[in-house]
Amino acid sequence: MNQQQPDNSRDPAEESRRKERLINLYKVQFRAAEQLWSASTRLLWSEHEESRETVPLTIIRRATRDEAAKYEKLSDMEHNAFRLCSELIEKLNLPMNLVKVERFFNGGKIIFYFTAESRVDFRELVKNLVQEFRTRVEMRQIGVRHETKMLGGLGCCGRELCCSSFIQNFESVSIKMAKEQNLPLNPAKISGACNRLLCCLNYEYKTYKSIRRSMPKVGKKITLNDRQYKVRQHNVLKESIVVAGDEGEELTLSKDEWQAAALSSPKDK
C-alpha cells in the first residue's frame, strides 16, 4: 500500500533565500505611552506580518541582557535628571517650564524640553547640568502643541489625544475649517488640551468642502412649485438644505428635492 510522503521537493537553499527576501514588520515603542513606530527586520522571531516593503526603522538584532538592563534603568535616570533640572530652574529663577527629559541610550546626550513665553538665558543652567551629568546637554524649547503631545491625555471625545497616539507632524488648522463644518465658534468647544484649535478639524474638512461645492450656495434662489425660495443653510452630512420663502416660511429639502428644484430654476443673472 502506498503511503503519502511529505513534499521535500523544494530546494533547501531556495527556501532559505526565500525567507531572506521576506521582511517581517513589527511595532516598536521606545518609551511607555509614546508613539508606536513601524520597523522591519529579516529576523524570523515568530509569526508576524510579512511584507516586501521597507519602513524607515530597521531591527538588526536582539538586545543583549546588559542592554536590556540598561534600558530598564533609563526611565529612572531621566526622572532623576528631570527632578534635578527642575530644582536648578527654581534656584536660578528662570522663566521656563520643564516638560520632559530624554537621555540617549548610549549616555552621550541629554535633551531637556521646556516651554517659555520668551527667550531664556539658560547658560548657567546648562553649565550646572553638564557638571552634574558629565555629558552633552541640549535645551530645546517647544510649543504648547508639542508639550501636549509629550504629556499625553484624553481629548473631548474621550479617546487618547491624536497628537500623542499617531500624529507625527502637525498640520495647520484654521477657524475656516470649523466654519466649513458648521461647528460652533466657541473656543471652548473647538480647542484641544493645548488650547489651540483641534487637530481633528482637519480630518473631514476636505470632504465637507467637496460635498458643499455640489450644493446650491447660500443666498441662491431656487424655484419650487412655482414659488421662489432662497437657500439659507446647508446640512452637509445629510446633503439637505434649508430654504426660506418670501413670507419667511422655511422648508428642508432633501438632496433629490433640491436637485430637481435647481434644474428647474432659472440661472441667476
Using the 3D structure, point to which of 29, 62, 95 is the last residue of a domain: 62
Using the 3D structure, point to which of 116, 142, 168 is the last residue of a domain: 142
Neighbours of 22 (CB within 10 A): 11
Which residue range(s) make up the domain with 57? 19-62
Q: How many domains does the chain have?
A: 4
Output the furthest CA–CA distance in the chain (Å, rounded).
96
Q: Which residue has the higher pLDDT, 226 or 155?
A: 155
- pLDDT tens readout for residues 71-83: 889 989 999 999 9
Mean pLDDT of all residues in 222-235: 88
Q: What is the CATH number of the domain that holds 84?
A: 3.30.300
Structural domain includes residue 36: yes
pLDDT at 128: 96
Structural domain includes residue 4: no
Q: Which residue has the higher pLDDT, 165 or 185?
A: 185
- Nearest-angstrom CA–CA distance, 162 and 154: 9
Q: What is the CATH number of the domain that holds 255?
A: 2.30.30
Mean pLDDT of all residues in 247-256: 88
Confidence of residue 1 (pLDDT cuts 50, 70, 90): very low
- Going by DSSP bridges, is the β-strand pair 136-141/109-115 parallel, antiparallel, or unpaired? parallel
- pLDDT tens readout for residues 111-142: 999 999 999 999 999 999 999 999 999 999 99
Statement to judge: residues 190 and 239 lie in one domain: no
pLDDT at 265 over 80: no
List CB contacts of 262: < 8 A, sequence separation 6 or more. 216, 222
Q: Taking a C-beta distance cutoff of 8 angstroms, is the pair 103, 110 a contact?
A: yes
Mean pLDDT of all residues in 93-98: 96
pLDDT at 257 over 50: yes
pTM equals 0.68
Structural domain includes residue 2: no
- Paired with 235 in beta bridges are 240
Statement to judge: residues 133 and 72 lie in one domain: yes
- pLDDT tens readout for residues 236-247: 989 999 999 888
pLDDT at 223: 87
Statement to judge: residues 138 and 194 lie in one domain: no
